[in-house]
Amino acid sequence: MSDIEIGRGKRGKRAWAFDDIAVVPSRRTRDPQDVSTSWSIDAYQFDLPVLAAPMDSVVSPETAIKIGKLGGLGVLDLEGLWTRYEEPTKYLDEIAKLPADKATARMQEIYREPVKAELIRDRLAQIRAAGVTVAGALSPQRTAEFHDTVVKAGVDIFVIRGTTVSAEHVSKSSEPLNLKQFIYELDVPVIVGGAATYTAALHLMRTGAAGVLVGFGGGAASTTRTVLGIHAPMATAVADVAGARRDYMDESGGRYVHVIADGGLGTSGDIVKAISCGADAVMLGSVLARATDAPGQGWHWGQEAFHSELPRGKRVEVSSKFDLEQILLGPSTEADGTSNLMGALRRSMATTGYSDLKEFQRVDVVVAPYDAH
Amino acid sequence: MSDIEIGRGKRGKRAWAFDDIAVVPSRRTRDPQDVSTSWSIDAYQFDLPVLAAPMDSVVSPETAIKIGKLGGLGVLDLEGLWTRYEEPTKYLDEIAKLPADKATARMQEIYREPVKAELIRDRLAQIRAAGVTVAGALSPQRTAEFHDTVVKAGVDIFVIRGTTVSAEHVSKSSEPLNLKQFIYELDVPVIVGGAATYTAALHLMRTGAAGVLVGFGGGAASTTRTVLGIHAPMATAVADVAGARRDYMDESGGRYVHVIADGGLGTSGDIVKAISCGADAVMLGSVLARATDAPGQGWHWGQEAFHSELPRGKRVEVSSKFDLEQILLGPSTEADGTSNLMGALRRSMATTGYSDLKEFQRVDVVVAPYDAH
Amino acid sequence: MSDIEIGRGKRGKRAWAFDDIAVVPSRRTRDPQDVSTSWSIDAYQFDLPVLAAPMDSVVSPETAIKIGKLGGLGVLDLEGLWTRYEEPTKYLDEIAKLPADKATARMQEIYREPVKAELIRDRLAQIRAAGVTVAGALSPQRTAEFHDTVVKAGVDIFVIRGTTVSAEHVSKSSEPLNLKQFIYELDVPVIVGGAATYTAALHLMRTGAAGVLVGFGGGAASTTRTVLGIHAPMATAVADVAGARRDYMDESGGRYVHVIADGGLGTSGDIVKAISCGADAVMLGSVLARATDAPGQGWHWGQEAFHSELPRGKRVEVSSKFDLEQILLGPSTEADGTSNLMGALRRSMATTGYSDLKEFQRVDVVVAPYDAH
Amino acid sequence: MSDIEIGRGKRGKRAWAFDDIAVVPSRRTRDPQDVSTSWSIDAYQFDLPVLAAPMDSVVSPETAIKIGKLGGLGVLDLEGLWTRYEEPTKYLDEIAKLPADKATARMQEIYREPVKAELIRDRLAQIRAAGVTVAGALSPQRTAEFHDTVVKAGVDIFVIRGTTVSAEHVSKSSEPLNLKQFIYELDVPVIVGGAATYTAALHLMRTGAAGVLVGFGGGAASTTRTVLGIHAPMATAVADVAGARRDYMDESGGRYVHVIADGGLGTSGDIVKAISCGADAVMLGSVLARATDAPGQGWHWGQEAFHSELPRGKRVEVSSKFDLEQILLGPSTEADGTSNLMGALRRSMATTGYSDLKEFQRVDVVVAPYDAH
């Protein structure tokens, strides 16, 4: 971490965003139909390297099933509307209609309703009944309280997701979650994050996690850089965590921890770049919230937007034209990188000559940040 | 390819666009009229280092003849409207009048009409009859099907052009074109591309091509970077391929392969920079589509814009004020770099003290990307 | 100072602004409530590392008291309206209502009224009576004339503030302030600045100052870069001066001089970055002038804006929504980094795993200037 | 010239504009009134390091006299309206009133009138009669034809100015000006340029020139970068030429050639930076054309804007508020760096601790291009 001198008393590393880089062709090309985009984590195999983010504007039990059938993995937020309310759709309807000046206050209210264990159980059962892989997410703060419920409900993949999750949380007021022990005792594979640096990710890998989410609230619904001064440009974050995966594989004698880019993925081009930097899969939020059949009904938000003392983000309007299937698999009638995401990935791999995701992590990239075209 | 650390697991080379660089004067100046802009490929000599791109908005048989008489080379798209329809002008007229929301769908339809061998033959015959050098372009996918027709029709220069063309295309479903054997057996010189990197270009040179097109759909009618995450800034791409030309000349015992910049050339300043980076000539699209006598009638498009599943580009409006002759040779009454392109090239060479294109490839350049003036 | 060649005859160091950098998480996280933001200078301890800038739009005796009670330090400008007029509020009212085209001329007039020693005494007495730490500021030009008055009035902390203050001012026409002797003879701790470079700050530290203000009129109310060509990007300036603090500590056998960032601090994120570069505290201007209870009533200005021959800045309108308490301590209902500044600092420290300000100066930073998100 | 790899076949040096750099304070400060801005060239001494550019919108005989009395040097264009017409003011009036769409064509016409030797003589006599230093400019193309007239008319300083002037102009059609012999035989000191690189400037210095103009049509009235692809960012150009001055001083045994920045100087901050990079003086165009008493009457243009085949620039409107005296010496009532240019230079020198221009060339500069504030 010491490439550039900020001033005599401080050095910092240069970090790069997806917008700063691009992949370049090599000497070989392929047919897009010969390319595989499949990946697997633990015993679960997926046709698409896509996890839908546990956010109420993106994943409901219904869209979790739909995304699962399309080949991805929908992760339900187990602290969202679906586990707070018996009938959440009426709140989704209300949120979609809130005037801008009332939205924050009313949504703070709506999210004050407690999470209910029986609803966690019911929602996960509904997804399981459809025959797709079942995944649910808790924040680190709630994991101790609800993980039993979640595991008993029969989750396949357990996601612990916060803006920043560390392997070593220090608290004077409460006993923090001991991630290592928790994961060791759990029967299901755990994906945990966000982590944005080599060191943070390496420590998370040592807890036994099956996957690490790379990111730090860098998505469309957050203003972390302005408010907290914290920012982890995603190309560097993913490449740093991929470096940690490689080093951890060596120190663990071969355990491969999956790296999942989470945030800053607004176009198919960004997905391509995430994988080129070493990601095994991507977690998508706003780009799926745009779907005509997404629960957000044209709106997207994260829970940190409604923090009572220090909101960091807000409900944002997202234009909707395609459904989840068209967004993921096409066909596309727009050339802006927000539909047929997997077709674009496939073509990018073919054009640069790679036939599977793991190989594609080795594609050449260039740094070209100044070009606004 | 390892100058910059993106993160611990990834390195990338810095790449530069034409906008990032500029040429600078040396210690000598010359008179513009003493400067030569001529170049030759195989037995064909041209006064201007300009190829008109095989796109329906730029080259018709008529403009191919006009450009040939002005000293350049018009390359006809042999898979465009002129070889699909007996009377293509009515479709050009229709395209120019399509409302924005109908354009993509209707143009997909129009381009569904099959290409006809007899029309290839007739169009090329028409150009040949005018006494100018005859050049036609096919995509790699169609080359096997139509090259016999093309060669028998008496083409002088054969162009194989795709977004990315590699010397080694791998396909499970079809027998790909063996470029090396194909070029070896052909009687006419072949120009092939796009290639955007040193390695890709070097392999294309080894196929026996007379010229390599440098670029990757980076023109005005494409959104490749956003959709595919692929981007090859042109100053670096041209300079890399020029490096491949030098190395290939050494390995081949002196065969000189022509480097033709194709894409990102919006002004005379860009043409100057392409040559300063090592290009022997430039292939121009949108800047010629602007001509009052261009077939696009104020519109410009590439075929990838109408891909049925993953369109990457669209029909764009281009302002028209000058005809092809004024755009290429002047006189100019605007100072925006879009007319009298060759007069500007000539003056730039004179001001920096060079008398022919090959010498001018050695002009000093500076990197100065931040200056928006 | 010689990293980059500007040209053959000149070299310069690269310098970075707060916008160019960001802090990144480490392997540990904490609870925000376990974090301390306290600091002390000489015998004076503060809960918040915040000094309110001695500007009429920010600090009146009343807001100095308010800020003191909230845990910060309000520094009264002893050459502003409060020491020129018995009844300054009517001039504040007038300034807030001046039409744009009359503002400069009228304010030049208003600030022509002489400073009065008895008003300095009365204003400081009023602050002292409220039981908070008392701080007042003079420019270097006026320090000789009024420092006796100020010290006798019972100031706790003496601030000498100008756009650039050096330890060695050279003048042919007047005897300049001998800072070293002056500070030596004074009974109270002195904070002095602005200084923007390692060398300038090191010399100020050798005068015996307790603190150094880092900056150069880089705030919202100044156009120094355009007019004077002078600019000291704050991240580099703070880190350079922090380097001087470290070196001076060594040469002085352990004297710790406080580094206070002064300028360019428009958001909580900027405050976070200032401390990450080595600042012990920050001096805030425009961000506090925005308060509904600030004396500027929606306007912000510095005295250099009314220089009679070479104005460098102007009265700027600042939007007002929160009061001083909400701006400093929250709660916040906006996510733009201009309210709950200390809550944001606390959360940033917690998220990156640090428990006090001195430790937080070691947080990792990245250089990421291109990302506008 | 080989710092950065553009691509395998090309390297280029990084170049910097004035906007990319800034000067920074040192450990000392001074009083502005103790600072000297005087400079001399040959036997001529000036209070201000300012030459007014030989452009019809800036210098008439009348403003040459005015600028001379203020302490600068007005250079009359000896190929402009004043030497083509007995009564040029009516054409200046007409130009100021031309509608945008007619301006280029009509101005091409107006400048077709031949230059007359007797008018050169009369205009220079008028300036001489006022008792100020007399300077006139010719283009290299016209120097052979008119230099006798100019010298006999009693010019003090002879300026040869073109977009690029080299010591070695090569022409097949005409005998080019032999600068070395010409300057050797002339009795008066010669200032010659533009030159934008170390090598070009070194060769010009070897011709015996007293001063070199640094620039390449980079001013407000030119679009050279877009049209010709040529661009020489000024900070680097000035510093490179200052390096040539130093090396030439060594090789010539002590001859000091003056370096005059010409172009890209839109604010007092730019003037400060030009001198910080090594300029001895600046030649100002648009910033003086803004004067209420400038001959352009609110418009600014260069002659290259009316080139009949390849215009590179146009007539631009410039806002006018101050007269020449206020622009050069103040007082100023705006803080945008376009008035009281010399007051700002003086204050910048004082603030950074320098007392004369030659010393100020050593001031520290930083590279800080990303900061738009």
- List the CATH number of the domain containing C59: 3.20.20.70
Classify residue A134 by burial, with Cβ atoms within 10 Å: 0-12, 13-18, 19+. buried
Tokens at B135, concatenated: 């050049």
pLDDT (tens digit, 9 = 90+) per residue, C309-362? Answer: 676 677 889 977 899 999 999 987 777 899 999 999 999 999 999 999 999 999
Mean pLDDT of C49-76: 98
The single-letter DSSP state of residue C205 is H
Which residues of chain C lie closer than 8 angstroms to A308, CB-CB? 331
Is B2 domain-assigned? no
Is A254 domain-assigned? yes
**Residue A276's closest CA among A360, A367, A350?**
A360
User: Rounded to an integer, what is the distance from CA A304 to the centroid of its chain?
Assistant: 15
CB contact under 8 A, A20 and C272: no
Which residues of chain A lie closer than 8 angstroms to B202, CB-CB? 27
The residue count for chain B: 373
* pLDDT less than 70: residues of chain D: 1-2, 217-222, 308-312, 370-373
Is A8 domain-assigned? no
Amino acid, single-letter form, for residue C155: V
Tokens 């009036």 identify what position?
A: D93
Q: What pLDDT, on the 0 to 100 scale, is given for residue A371? A: 47
Mean pLDDT of B62-69: 98
Which residues of chain A lie closer than 8 angstroms to B1, CB-CB? 364
Which residues of chain A lie closer than 8 angstroms to C373, CB-CB? 17, 218, 225, 264
pLDDT band at B338 (very low <50, low <70, confident <90, very high): very high
Q: What percent of chain C has pLDDT over 90?
A: 73
Cα–Cα separations (whole angstroms), residue B314 to A270, B104, B234, B294: 21, 7, 21, 18
This prediction's pTM: 0.93
Is A295 domain-assigned? yes
Is B277 domain-assigned? yes
Is C346 domain-assigned? yes
The conformational region for residue A75 under phi > 0 = left, psi -120 to 50 = alpha, else beta, is beta
CB contact under 8 A, B340 and D310: yes
Q: What pLDDT, on the 0 to 100 scale, is given for residue D1? A: 43
Host H or E run for residue C258: strand C258-262
Identity of the residue in C6, C203, C312 whose CB atom sits nearest the CB atom of D365? C6
Which residues of chain B lie closer than 8 angstroms to A343, CB-CB? 309-310
- Structural domains counted in chain A: 1
The single-letter DSSP state of residue C75 is E
- Tell me how close the Cα of D142 comes to any Cα of chain B, in angstroms: 15
- Our answer on whether D and B touch (3+ beta-carbon pairs < 8 Å) is yes
Which residues of chain A lie closer than 8 angstroms to B14, CB-CB? 366-368
What is the C-alpha separation between D72 and B95, in angstroms, rounded?
62
Identity of the residue in C14, C352, C364 whose CB atom sits nearest the CB atom of A1? C364
Is B265 domain-assigned? yes
Mean pLDDT of B238-246: 97
CB contact under 8 A, A368 and B233: yes
Mutation target for D interface from B35, B275, B366: give the one with most D CBs within 10 A: B366
Residue-range definition of the domain harbouring residue A92: 20-367
CB contact under 8 A, B17 and A370: yes
Is C15 domain-assigned? no
Q: What pLDDT, on the 0 to 100 scale, is given for residue C217? A: 58
pLDDT (tens digit, 9 = 90+) per residue, B294-330? Answer: 999 999 998 777 776 666 677 889 977 899 999 999 9
Q: What pLDDT, on the 0 to 100 scale, is given for residue D127? A: 98
> In this structure, how many other beta carbons lie within 10 angstroms of the beta carbon of residue D358?
12
CB contact under 8 A, B366 and D203: no
Interface list for C 34-93 with A (CB within 8 A): 34
The reply to whether B366 touches chain D by the CB within 8 Å rule is yes
The reply to whether A325 touches chain B by the CB within 8 Å rule is no
Identity of the residue in B171, B199, B311 whose CB atom sits nearest the CB atom of A34? B171
Which of the other chains make 3 or more beta carbon contacts under 8 angstroms with chain C?
A, D
For A251-255, C38-42, C224-228, D41-45, which range has the lowest pLDDT when averaged over its residues?
Answer: C224-228
What is the C-alpha separation between D68 and A303, in angstroms, rounded?
69
Q: Is the pLDDT of residue C20 over 50?
A: yes
CB contact under 8 A, A277 and B8: no
What is the C-alpha separation between D82 and A345, in angstroms, rounded?
66
Full 3-state SS string of chain B: CCCEEEECCEEEEECCCHHHEEECCCCEEECHHHCCCCEEECCEEECCCEEECCCCCCCCHHHHHHHHHHCCEEEEECCCHHHHCCCCHHHHHHHHHCCHHHHHHHHHHHCCCCCCHHHHHHHHHHHHHCCCCCEEEECHHHHHHHHHHHHHCCCCEEEEECCCCCCEEECCCCCCCCHHHHHHHCCCCEEEEEECCHHHHHHHHCCCCCEEEECCCCCCCCCHHHHHCECCCHHHHHHHHHHHHHHHHHHCCCCCCEEEEECCCCCHHHHHHHHHCCCCEEEECHHHHCCCCCCCCCEECCHHHHCCCCCCCCCEECCCCCCHHHHHHCCCCCCCCCCCHHHHHHHHHHHCCCCCHHHHCCCCEEECCCCCC
Mean pLDDT of B97-121: 92
Q: Is the pLDDT of residue C216 over 80?
A: no
Interface list for A 124-163 with C (CB within 8 A): 163
* Residue of higher predicted confidence among C208 and C104: C208
User: Rounded to an integer, what is the distance from CA B77 to the centroid of its chain?
Assistant: 12
Which residues of chain D lie closer than 8 angstroms to C230, CB-CB? 22-25, 269, 272, 348, 351-352
CB of A221 closer than 8 Å to CB of C262 = no
Mean pLDDT of B105-116: 91
Question: Which residues lie closer than 8 Å to D41 by C-beta, 6 or more apart?
Answer: D157, D189, D191, D210, D211, D258, D280, D281
Identity of the residue in D12, D173, D226 whose CB atom sits nearest the CB atom of B269? D226
Q: Is the pLDDT of residue C69 over 50?
A: yes
Question: Which residues lie closer than 8 Å to A185 by C-beta, 6 or more apart?
Answer: none
Q: What pLDDT, on the 0 to 100 scale, is given for residue D164? A: 80
- Tell me how close the Cα of A36 comes to any Cα of chain C, in angstroms: 32
CB contact under 8 A, C12 and D370: no
CB contact under 8 A, B23 and D229: yes
Tokens at D139, concatenated: 């283009």
pLDDT (tens digit, 9 = 90+) per residue, A247-280? Answer: 999 999 999 999 999 988 999 999 999 999 999 9
Q: What is the ipTM of this complex?
A: 0.90
Interface list for D 259-278 with C (CB within 8 A): 267-273, 276-278
Coil/strand/helix, residue A268: helix
* pLDDT less than 70: residues of chain A: 1-2, 217-222, 308-312, 370-373
CB contact under 8 A, B28 and D308: no
- Tell me how close the Cα of D322 comes to any Cα of chain C, in angstroms: 14
- Our answer on whether D and A touch (3+ beta-carbon pairs < 8 Å) is no
CB contact under 8 A, A278 and B9: yes
The reply to whether B241 touches chain D by the CB within 8 Å rule is yes
> In this structure, how many other beta carbons lie within 10 angstroms of the beta carbon of residue A252?
13
Q: Is the pLDDT of residue C47 over 50?
A: yes
Which residues of chain A lie closer than 8 angstroms to C365, CB-CB? 6, 10, 12
Q: What pLDDT, on the 0 to 100 scale, is given for residue C372? A: 43
Q: Is the pLDDT of residue C370 over 60?
A: no
